Amino acid sequence: MELHLDGLRYFERIDSTNVEAARWAGQGAPDMALVIADEQTAGRGRQGRKWFTPPGAALAFSLILRDFPQSLEMPHLMARLTALGALAVSQALQEKYGLPAEIKWPNDVLLERRKACGILAEAHWQGEQLEAVILGIGVNVAPAAAPPDGEVIFPATSVETILRKPVDRLELLRTILEELLTWRAHLLEHDFLRAWEARLAFRQEWVHLLSDAPVSDQQVMVLGVGGDGCLRVRDSLGKEFSVHTGEVRLRP
Interface contacts to ligand BTN, rule CB under 6 A:
16-18, 40, 43-46, 49, 51, 60-62, 107-108, 118-120, 136-138
Q: Find out whether 105 and 3 touch, Cβ atoms under 8 Å.
A: no
Q: Find out whether 139 and 116 touch, Cβ atoms under 8 Å.
A: yes
Q: Shortest CA distance to 175 belongs to which of 81, 38, 3, 59? A: 59
Q: Which C-beta is closer to ligand BTN: that of 227 or that of 246?
A: 246
Q: Find out whether 92 and 195 touch, Cβ atoms under 8 Å.
A: no
Q: Which C-beta is closer to ligand BTN: that of 51 or that of 68?
A: 51
Q: Which C-beta is closer to ligand BTN: that of 210 or that of 223?
A: 210
- Burial-class residue 142 by CB neighbours within 10 Å (0-12, 13-18, 19+): middle
Q: Shortest CA distance to 229 belongs to which of 192, 177, 181? A: 192
Q: Which C-beta is closer to ligand BTN: that of 61 or that of 97?
A: 61
CB of 107 to ligand BTN, least distance (A): 6
Q: Shortest CA distance to 190 belongs to which of 242, 232, 142, 226? A: 226
CB of 131 to ligand BTN, least distance (A): 18
Q: Which C-beta is closer to ligand BTN: that of 83 or that of 119?
A: 119
